[in-house]
Amino acid sequence: MISEKAYSLSVIMNRIKQLFDECMNEVYFWMKAELMHVKSDRKGHYYLDLVETKDGTILAKSTAQIWNYTVTYLKEELGRDFEHIIKPGSEIMCYCKAVFHTVYGLSFVITKVDVTYNLGALERKKKAVLEQLLKEGILEKNKEHKLPKVIQRIALVASPNTSGYEDFLNQLNKNSYGYAYQIENFPAKVQGDTAAKEIAEQLGKIPYGNFDAVVLLRGGGSKFDLEAFNDYELAKAIGSCPLPVITGIGHETDTSIADLTAHTSLKTPSAAGAFIVERTVEFENNIQLLYIGIRQTYERKLQQLNKDMKHHITEFASLSIALTRMERGNLHTLTNRILTMVNEEQVQAHSLLDKALQQLSLLPKKQTQQALQIRNEQAEQLQLYSSYIVREARTPLKQKTEQLHYLTKMKLRQANSKLDNWEHYSNLYHPEALLKKGYGLVRKEEVIVKHTTMLEKGDFIEIELYDRIVNAKIEDTPTWKDLHTKKQNKN
């Protein structure tokens, strides 16, 4: 039998409440805790399960409430960040008071939440991810890819039907130059707990051989909205991508890990689209300058070839005349030599003939006939020999004349071939051919605009297309580096 006085549970709980209220009534303090569960009712009250753990062991556990009037105040103060802070798994720094109820036990009533504490946690997490990427050599890996001068085939990773998505498409599809781009979207969430995983999975599904670059977009938001772009696995997927990645995540004051890991980062989706268009414009301008240079070189070469051809024709004419004169002199000399030889042979023949006649007068008639026959044969042989010598002398002259005619034709054919080739190059890069392809010539005061031409607001320019000329007035002269890009932070 228990002799001591027994107290009821309610008495004990009321006594505890009395002692608790004496020490803690209306005492407010800052408390750090992790949210294990979060729920709200239809009246707008929030009920939280708080916990503190160390190495997987629960050190303390309690409940907390945020009444609806406080919820309204916090949502006005924190805006969209409220949902990112008051969620399971989040660690918060809250201003609260402790209350003790005889039925519900100990709990806390939260009146304020320090958003800077959560931002600090994000920065600490971001710093740890950044250090890990640097250690593994992933941070600069995507920047090693060469960005094409013209980016036409684009793999777009974004959430469809968002403002950033539409802004990017408008920049490309409605560009004032009429450029056409091939864009294929790989849809993914860009906000929420599963966003980083979905984006990384879509990066892995892209058939990289079909594209020039990957563009990753998001239409802005708070630091908590951009938390997915500080994820380690997403940064690793960007760094390992075999194509250059361009980001337009849409924040002015902060840089995400995805921005640092990508090949090129722009401030907004619109800036990303403008960057791609401006690279095409720059390429076209360079082509135009190259064409002008080729045209000038062609004209100089053509003038030089015409000059050389006239010089060669003059040389060939002089050489032909000189060779003809020389060969005629050689032929004349050879002819005189042949005639001399013939005359000498005739003199010798007549001498022999006279001797033979003298002898014949002493010989019988038969012998006289034989002598006459021999004389006739010798005369025929002398005539044949003379003809042979003349023919042999004419052969070299004829050959040299034919060679001179062939060489002249060959030189003229080579000169004409060069002229044809240059004429082909001229037609290939003629402005009219380029205008048919969709390019345009921009002139200011009838002078083609180059990268060195000064353009100011209010100037009038003329844009020549293939089938028309457009007059325009310059409203602004921005450059993409000032308007659409920002300096990359490198560690």
pLDDT in tens, 52-86: 888 878 888 999 999 999 889 888 877 777 777 78
Same domain, 157 and 245: yes
> 139: exposed, middle or buried (C-beta count within 10 Å: 0-12, 13-18, 19+)?
buried
pLDDT of residue 182: 94
Structural domain includes residue 446: yes
Residue after which a domain boundary falls, among 267, 295, 320: 267
With residue 264 as reference, give the H or E element that holds it.
strand 264-266
Structural domain includes residue 118: no
Spell out, as residue ranges, where the chain has pLDDT lower than 70: 1-4, 118-122, 219-226, 250-254, 356-357, 359-368, 371, 375, 386, 390, 393, 396-397, 400-401, 404-405, 419, 421-430, 479-491
Structural domain includes residue 3: no
Same domain, 105 and 144: no
Q: Is the dihedral of CA 220, 225, 227, 229 positive or negative?
A: negative
Q: What is the β-pairing status of strands 105-113 and 182-185?
A: unpaired
Integer Cα distance of 48 and 34 in angstroms: 10
pLDDT of residue 311: 83
Residue after which a domain boundary falls, among 267, 296, 323: 267
Structural domain includes residue 486: no
Same domain, 69 and 169: no
With residue 271 as reference, give the H or E element that holds it.
helix 269-360
Same domain, 130 and 262: yes
Residue after which a domain boundary falls, among 212, 236, 267: 267
Integer Cα distance of 70 and 144 in angstroms: 51
Assign residue 80 a region (left: φ > 0; alpha: ψ between -120 and 50; beta: otherwise). alpha
pLDDT of residue 387: 74
pLDDT of residue 477: 76
Structural domain includes residue 341: yes
Same domain, 152 and 102: no
Residue 456 to residues 50, 157, 277, 474, 476, Cα–Cα distance (Å): 62, 37, 21, 7, 7
Same domain, 340 and 460: no
pLDDT of residue 168: 92
Q: What is the CATH number of the domain that holds 85?
A: 2.40.50.140
Q: Identity (one letter) of the amino acid at 310?
A: K
Structural domain includes residue 4: no
Integer Cα distance of 92 and 30 in angstroms: 10
Contact 90, 78 (CB under 8 A): no
Integer Cα distance of 161 and 113 in angstroms: 34
Q: What is the CATH number of the domain that holds 131?
A: 3.40.50
Same domain, 326 and 213: no
Same domain, 422 and 445: no
Same domain, 381 and 257: no
Same domain, 446 and 425: no
Give the chain's domain count: 4
H, E, C per residue of 108-119: EEEEEECHHHHH
Same domain, 97 and 131: no
Q: What is the CATH number of the domain that holds 325?
A: 1.10.287
| Residues spanned by the domain of 458 | 440-481
Structural domain includes residue 291: yes
Same domain, 255 and 296: no
Give the three-class secondary structure for 439: coil
pLDDT of residue 147: 92
